[in-house]
Structure 1
Amino acid sequence: MKFLLNLYLNAADLPGEGPDHVEFLGSAASTGELISGHAFADPSISAVVQVRDGVVAVSEGPYPRASDHVAVQYLVDCESRERALELAALIPSGRSGGVEVRPLMGSAGMEM
């Protein structure tokens, strides 16, 4: 089963130059469960595109407005939800901002 681990952090708490997720990365990579990971740029330079009744509107900055936002994502392939939760618990950033563990769905709506 594939899970997306979203790390919610305050912009002031973003990871520095290198990931501080050594225990998580070591564990998930050594077992072959880590598929990919991405850190995001500061949300102040993001944009949101919405189309309503054929009219395109672009707003600058993060949406929704909040102090915490998705700052890093990891894609893991685990045997169970419980294992994905174990891996999420290894991420230090999750102790302050939180880590959302969300299963991915296939086109038929079933878990991948």
Structure 2
Amino acid sequence: MQYLLMIYQNEAEYAKNDEATSQKILAEYQAFTQSIVQSGNYKGGDRLRPTTTATTVRVRDGKTLMTDGPFAETREQLAGYYLIEAKDIDAATAIAARIPSARIGSIEVRPIWEHDK
């Protein structure tokens, strides 16, 4: 079964990291990603640009409305994601717990609807 692991953290707090800390976190992510590639769990994933670069799209009464920035103000923002394959929710949450940002933010684990092909 596939799961989306959504990585949430506070952008403002993360931006305060010095270069050495940022490089250490990047190395931890590279090691984590390599480990789930090697185990066969990895299906995809990427880091997202800050919410200040987002555009929110809504359609109301047939009209498309666009707003710069995120949909809602929150304490933590969606920073990235992994799409993984795991045998069950327990395996998926065990993988999520190994994501470096789980120590400073949160990881939301969501099963993907499987469509008949």
TM-score normalised by the chain length of structure 1? 0.85
> Who is 1:78 aligned against?
86
Task: Note the residue ranges of structure 2 that are not aligned, 5 or more in a row.
Answer: none
Judging by fraction of residues, say which structure has more helix. Answer: 2
CA distance in 1: counterparts of 2:2 and 2:27, whole angstroms: 22
> Who is 1:28 aligned against?
36
Query: How far 1:44 sits from its partner (Å)?
Result: 0.5
Which letter does structure 2 place at the counterpart of 1:63? Answer: F
CA RMSD for the aligned pairs? Answer: 2.0
> Who is 1:5 aligned against?
5
* Native 8 Å contact 1:37 1:74 kept in 2: yes
1:51 corresponds, among 43, 59, 62, to 59
1:41 corresponds, among 35, 44, 49, to 49
CA distance in 1: counterparts of 2:102 and 2:30, whole angstroms: 13
Q: Between 47-56 and 24-33, report the one with greater CA deviation.
A: 24-33
Identity percentage of aligned residues: 30
* Native 8 Å contact 1:24 1:88 kept in 2: no
CA distance in 1: counterparts of 2:61 and 2:115, whole angstroms: 26
CA distance in 1: counterparts of 2:10 and 2:73, whole angstroms: 12
Q: Between 54-63 and 20-29, report the one with greater CA deviation.
A: 20-29
Task: Note the residue ranges of structure 1 that are not aligned, 5 or more in a row.
Answer: none
Number of residue pairs aligned between Structure 1 and Structure 2: 108
The 5 Å alignment of 1:89-104 reads 89-104=97-112
CA distance in 1: counterparts of 2:39 and 2:89, whole angstroms: 16
